[in-house]
Amino acid sequence: MRIMKKIYICILILFTLSLVWGLRIQIQGDGGRINIPEKDIDGVPYLAIKDVSPIFRCIQKQERTDQRLYLHIYGETFIFLEGTQYYSYKIDSFNMQYPLARIGGDYYLPRNFFTEHLPMHFPGEHIYRDSILQIHKPVDHSVQVIVLDPGHGGKDPGAVGKKLKAKEKEINLDVALKLKRMLETELGVTVLMTRSDDRFVSLGDRTRYANENKADLFVSIHANASKSSAPKGTETYYLSTAMTSDARAVEALENQVVDLYEGGASARSKYDDLDFILSDLSQTEHLESSNELASSLQQNLIAGTQAYDRGVKQANFYVLRGAFMPSVLIELGFISNPDEERLLVNDEYQQRLARTIFEGIKRFKYRYDRIRNT
Ligand SMILES: [Zn+2]
C-alpha cells in the first residue's frame, strides 16, 4: 500500500510539472539558457521582453514621442509599434500575426516572433526543437566593406578655390583614392568608391550604392567653402535634424547639388520623402556609431594635420540620409581660404589627410569589431 501511495504522489508531481513546463519555453542564447514563462494573451502565447533580454543580450529603447519600441538583438535593430502586428527590420516590414502587447510597464511579443521570425533573421544560428529554442549571435559582424564617397564630380565641381582655382571635386577624389589604397593594403577591408573618376553621381545613387553593397561604413569626403576667405579648419559631420546655424550653412552648400544638378524642387521633394521613410529607420539606429566614427576621425585629423579644429557637428545632409550604416561627412578644409587651398592641392598634405582619416577609421573599426563580437 505504501508503495502505491508513493507512486501516486510521483505521478501527481509529474503531472503538475508537465502542466507548468507546458507553459514555458526553454531558450538558449549567448547569455545562457533559461526557462521562460509564457503568458497567454487572448489565447496566444507571448513572451515578456524583459525575460528574454538577458538571453539575447537585447536592449530595449522606447521613443517618447510615439509608441515605437526599438529592440536591439545581437546588434540588429527591430522596430515595433504598440498594438500592431508589424515590425521593421532593415528595409522590410514583417507580420507577426499578433500585435506587440503591453501589460503595465512590460512589453510582450508573440512567441512566434522568437520561434519563427528570429531564426529567419539569424539564419544558421538557430535550432528550435522539442520546445527548446537556440539562437546565437551571427559570427562575423565586423567592419569589412567601406564605401568612400568623394563629393561632387563631373558637371558638378563643388566649391572652387579663389587663388589657385582648385576644384573641390578633384581634391575629394585624390584624397579618397589615397585613403582607399591604405585601407585595402593595411586594414584588409574591401573599399568601394561611389566614383573613382571625374563623373557626376547623384546624391541618392551614392547611398543606394552603399546600401546595395551592404557597406559597414560610409565616408563622404568634401572640402568646405565660405564667401569670406578667413574661415579655416576641419570638421566632421554626421546626420541629424538638429543643428547650429553654422552647420546649416554647410548643409545648404553640400545640398546645393540637388538644386543645381538634380532638377531642383522636384528632386528635393523626392529626397524629403526618402528622408521621411528611410532616415528614421536607418540612421537613427546608427546615430551613436556615426557620432563615434565622426569623433574618431575628427580627433585624428586634427592631431595629424594641426588644422584648426571646428569639431564634430550634426547636419541634415542628403547624402547621409537613407544610408543603412554609420555614415559621416568630412570637410577637409576651406578651399576658399588661400592658405588651406594651397595645402589641399598639395600631394603630401593630401597623403597626410588620407593617413589621418585612415587612423580614425582603424581605431573605430577595432572598437566596433570588439563591441559587435562580444
Ligand atoms: Zn562638397
Q: Residue 169's domain is classified under what CATH number?
A: 3.40.630.40
Q: How far is the CA of 162 from the centre of ligand 1 (A)?
A: 15
Model pLDDT, residue 222: 95
Specify if 37 maps to a domain: yes
pLDDT digits (tens, 9 = 90+) for 246-284: 666 677 677 777 777 776 666 555 554 444 434 444 455
Examine the domain organization and report whether 206 and 108 are in the same domain: no
The overall average pLDDT reported for the chain is: 81
Q: How far is the CA of 103 from the centre of ligand 1 (A)?
A: 50
Q: How far is the CA of 20 from the centre of ligand 1 (A)?
A: 64
Q: How far is the CA of 263 from the centre of ligand 1 (A)?
A: 18
CB 333 within 8 A of CB 346: no
Between 144 and 342, the higher pLDDT residue? 342
Report the SS3 class of residue 214: coil
Q: How far is the CA of 136 from the centre of ligand 1 (A)?
A: 43
Residue type for position 347: D
Q: How far is the CA of 331 from the centre of ligand 1 (A)?
A: 8
Specify if 6 maps to a domain: no
Q: How far is the CA of 74 from the centre of ligand 1 (A)?
A: 36
Q: How far is the CA of 119 from the centre of ligand 1 (A)?
A: 43
Model pLDDT, residue 284: 58
Examine the domain organization and report whether 230 and 285 are in the same domain: yes
Q: How far is the CA of 160 from the centre of ligand 1 (A)?
A: 10
CB 54 within 8 A of CB 44: no
Q: How far is the CA of 235 from the centre of ligand 1 (A)?
A: 12
CB 99 within 8 A of CB 40: no
Percent of the chain with pLDDT over 70: 76
DSSP assigned state of 187: I
Examine the domain organization and report whether 220 and 308 are in the same domain: yes
Specify if 188 maps to a domain: yes
Q: How far is the CA of 153 from the centre of ligand 1 (A)?
A: 10
In sequence order, the 6+-apart residues with CB closer than 8 A to the CB of 162 are: 229, 336, 338, 341
Q: How far is the CA of 366 from the centre of ligand 1 (A)?
A: 29
Examine the domain organization and report whether 164 and 107 are in the same domain: no
Biggest CA-to-CA distance, the chain:
108
pLDDT digits (tens, 9 = 90+) for 127-159: 666 667 777 665 555 788 999 999 999 999 999
Q: How far is the CA of 222 from the centre of ligand 1 (A)?
A: 4
Examine the domain organization and report whether 153 and 220 are in the same domain: yes
Residue type for position 14: L
pLDDT over 60 (residue 177): yes
Q: How far is the CA of 292 from the centre of ligand 1 (A)?
A: 22
| Lookup result for grid cell 554609420 | 326
Q: How far is the CA of 182 from the centre of ligand 1 (A)?
A: 23
Examine the domain organization and report whether 112 and 177 are in the same domain: no
Specify if 183 maps to a domain: yes
Residue 116, domain extent: 26-135
CA-based nearest residue to 220, from 347, 134, 312, 331 = 331
Specify if 63 maps to a domain: yes
Q: How far is the CA of 302 from the centre of ligand 1 (A)?
A: 19
Model pLDDT, residue 72: 80
Q: How far is the CA of 146 from the centre of ligand 1 (A)?
A: 20
Q: How far is the CA of 369 from the centre of ligand 1 (A)?
A: 30
DSSP-based helix, strand, coil % in the chain, nearest 5: 45, 30, 30
Examine the domain organization and report whether 244 and 121 are in the same domain: no
For range 314-319, the mean pLDDT? 74
Domain termination site, one of 81, 112, 135: 135
HEC secondary structure over 20-87: HHHCEEEEEECCEEEEEECEEECCEEEEEHHHHHHHHCCEEEECCCCCEEEEEECCEEEEEEECCCEE
Q: How far is the CA of 159 from the centre of ligand 1 (A)?
A: 6
Domain termination site, one of 117, 135, 153: 135
Specify if 42 maps to a domain: yes
Examine the domain organization and report whether 182 and 298 are in the same domain: yes
pLDDT digits (tens, 9 = 90+) for 22-70: 467 777 776 677 788 889 999 999 999 888 887 776 777 776 666 778 8
Q: How confident is the model at residue 14 (pLDDT cuts 50, 70, 90)?
A: low
d(CA 342, CA 349): 9
C-alpha 351 chain-centroid distance: 28
pLDDT over 70 (residue 13): no
- Would you tell me how many other CB atoms lie within 10 Å of the CB of residue 102? 14
Beta strands at 190-193 and 39-41: parallel, antiparallel or unpaired: unpaired
Q: How far is the CA of 95 from the centre of ligand 1 (A)?
A: 41
pLDDT digits (tens, 9 = 90+) for 183-241: 998 888 899 999 999 999 998 899 889 888 989 899 999 999 999 999 999 999 987 65
Q: How far is the CA of 152 from the centre of ligand 1 (A)?
A: 6
Q: Residue 105's domain is classified under what CATH number?
A: 3.30.457.10
Domain termination site, one of 86, 111, 135: 135
Examine the domain organization and report whether 208 and 70 are in the same domain: no
d(CA 135, CA 47): 15
Q: How far is the CA of 158 from the centre of ligand 1 (A)?
A: 5
Examine the domain organization and report whether 248 and 357 are in the same domain: yes
pLDDT over 70 (residue 1): no
Specify if 206 maps to a domain: yes
CB 328 within 8 A of CB 238: yes
Between 346 and 143, the higher pLDDT residue? 346
Q: How far is the CA of 362 from the centre of ligand 1 (A)?
A: 24
Between 115 and 307, the higher pLDDT residue? 307
Q: How many domains is the chain partitioned into structurally? A: 2
Q: Tell me the CA distances in angstroms from 372 to 57, 75, 315, 344, one per residue in order.
A: 11, 7, 27, 36
Q: How far is the CA of 328 from the centre of ligand 1 (A)?
A: 13
The grid coordinates listed for 20 are 507548468
Specify if 260 maps to a domain: yes
